[in-house]
């Protein structure tokens, strides 16, 4: 069975690389170091990855956007020389991130097979447009990572800019989103967003599990989740000696560990995966709504406690039955307009009211 990329016109080199895969459903596996650090490092990593049949492409960062100045920002053009040599000795097509028109020009000069647009670049439409203009008339696959923020329209807008520039071989890379709450992930998956993207755009979806996890210990679970949702590929950062990596050491794994990881995964048929992906989008949306409900309930109880303190200071009774009956009637009426049954409204708000009474009674010292 040909991979999903086939319908989007991948180059002959990439087609050949994909055909070497023994992964069920021909899922694309893009692997390689976060950063190309030295000629020895990238060639040793590439040669080891070439021995893993499922690996279809070699990734390597040449320019690294760092949060603060002074950190390692990549080898630049020298790294492209090494990446090209790694391609020659391993037979794997290559991919790297580009953020400026100069990056595009240099990457193509050194025969990079595919380019990806990073999350920090996608967030800026001016930068995306400059890259689209630089790629006009160039026949190269372009992978678009989601923006750092969970903004589906911004992500879609990036695709539209490349499409208008005549780029037809496009794919999405899901690398997770910045999240204001505590999370085990480096970047929260928010699976419903990439799922909705695939509903709106006919593009393959690759999941960058390394950047979602930020921790090699989480890779297996997240990779399996992605496969269960019918992702078309995985991007996994691999380094010949990850503990000594100059960037993102904690999320990279050795080629041998990648081999074991891939062997541990269950690959789904695309049809069963599509059904699961559709359901997962809805389930994920419910999870988000439930989380919001919990936060609202907690906030409501905080306000209720404040009211209890005020009643205690002013010697006001805990229960105001006339006010409560009017509130409940108003809620039932408003709920009916939204298609919610009176039974549901009564049960929910009676439970909330009872909890408020108990909290206020404790404050008033009536327990």
pLDDT tens per residue across span 284-343: 778 888 888 999 999 998 998 898 888 888 887 777 788 888 888 999 999 999 999 999
Q: How far apart are CA 32 and CA 46, in angstroms?
A: 7
Does domain 4-268 fall under CATH 3.20.20.70? My reply is yes
pLDDT of residue 241: 96
Query: Residue 222: pLDDT band by 50, 70, 90 thresholds?
Result: very high
What tens digit of pLDDT does each residue of 270-281 get?
665 566 666 776
**In Å, what is the CA distance from 221 to each residue of 119, 215, 217, 227?**
23, 11, 9, 10
CB 184: neighbour CB atoms within 10 A? 12
Domain boundaries, the chain: 4-268, 279-364
Q: Which of 104, 163, 149 is nearest to 130 (CA)?
A: 104
What tens digit of pLDDT does each residue of 132-142 get?
999 999 999 99
Question: 235 φ, ψ to 5°?
Answer: -110, 125
What is the widest separation between alpha-carbon atoms in the chain? Answer: 84
Q: How far apart are CA 132 and CA 115, in angstroms?
A: 12
**In Å, what is the CA distance from 21 to each residue of 2, 53, 182?**
10, 5, 37
Q: For the chain, where are the alpha helices, taking DSSP H only? A: 12-19, 39-50, 77-90, 101-109, 119-122, 125-135, 152-164, 192-200, 209-213, 219-228, 255-264, 270-314, 321-337, 342-364
N-term to C-term CA, the chain: 69
pTM: 0.71
Pairing of strands 233-237, 28-32: parallel
User: What is the pLDDT averaged over residues 171-177?
Assistant: 97
Q: How far apart are CA 34 and CA 16, in angstroms?
A: 24
Name the CATH topology of 279-364: Chorismate Mutase Domain, subunit A (1.20.59)
- 28 and 57 Cβ atoms separated by less than 8 Å: yes
Helix (H, G, I), strand (E, B) or coil at 307: helix
What tens digit of pLDDT does each residue of 69-107 get?
877 888 999 999 999 999 999 999 999 999 999 999 999
* DSSP class of 247: S
pLDDT of residue 274: 63
Question: 118 φ, ψ to 5°?
Answer: -75, 165
Q: Is the pLDDT of residue 198 over 70?
A: yes
Q: Which of 115, 127, 117 is nearest to 80 (CA)?
A: 115
Q: How far apart are CA 285 and CA 279, in angstroms?
A: 10
Question: CA quadruple 262, 214, 173, 289: dihedral positive or negative?
Answer: positive
User: How many C-alpha atoms does 113 have within 13 Å on its Cβ side?
Assistant: 24
């Amino acid at each position: 069975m040909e991979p999903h990329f086939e319908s989007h016109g991948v180059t002959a080199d990439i087609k050949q690389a994909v055909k070497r895969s023994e992964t069920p459903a021909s899922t694309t596996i893009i692997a390689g170091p976060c950063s190309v650090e030295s000629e020895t490092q990238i060639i040793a990593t590439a040669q080891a990855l070439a021995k893993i049949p499922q690996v279809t492409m070699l990734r390597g960062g040449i320019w690294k956007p760092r949060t603060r100045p002074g950190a390692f920002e990549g080898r630049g053009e020298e790294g492209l020389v090494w990446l090209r040599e790694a391609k020659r000795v391993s037979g794997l097509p290559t991919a790297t991130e580009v953020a400026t028109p100069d990056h595009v020009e240099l990457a193509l000069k050194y025969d990079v097979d595919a380019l990806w647009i990073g999350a920090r670049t996608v967030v800026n439409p001016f930068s995306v447009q400059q890259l689209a203009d630089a790629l006009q008339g160039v026949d190269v696959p372009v992978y678009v990572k989601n923006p750092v923020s969970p903004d589906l329209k911004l992500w879609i807008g990036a695709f539209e800019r490349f499409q208008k520039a005549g780029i037809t071989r496009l794919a999405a890379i899901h690398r997770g989103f910045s999240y204001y709450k505590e999370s085990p992930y480096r970047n929260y998956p928010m699976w419903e967003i990439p799922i909705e993207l695939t509903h709106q755009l006919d593009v393959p979806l690759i999941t960058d599990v390394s950047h979602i996890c930020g921790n090699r210990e989480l890779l297996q679970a997240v990779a399996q989740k992605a496969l269960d949702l019918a992702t078309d590929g995985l991007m996994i950062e691999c380094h010949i000696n990850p503990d000594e990596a100059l960037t993102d050491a904690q999320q990279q794994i050795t080629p041998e560990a990648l081999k074991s990881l891939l062997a541990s995964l269950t690959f789904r048929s695309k049809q069963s995966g599509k059904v699961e992906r559709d359901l997962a989008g809805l389930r994920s949306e419910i999870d988000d709504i439930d989380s919001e409900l919990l936060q609202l309930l907690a906030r409501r109880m905080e306000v209720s406690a404040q009211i209890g303190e005020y009643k205690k200071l002013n010697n006001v009774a805990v229960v105001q039955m006339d006010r409560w009956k009017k509130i409940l009637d108003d809620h039932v009426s408003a709920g009916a307009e939204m298609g919610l049954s009176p039974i549901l409204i009564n049960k929910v708000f009676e439970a909330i009211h009872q909890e408020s009474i108990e909290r206020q009674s404790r404050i008033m010292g009536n327990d």
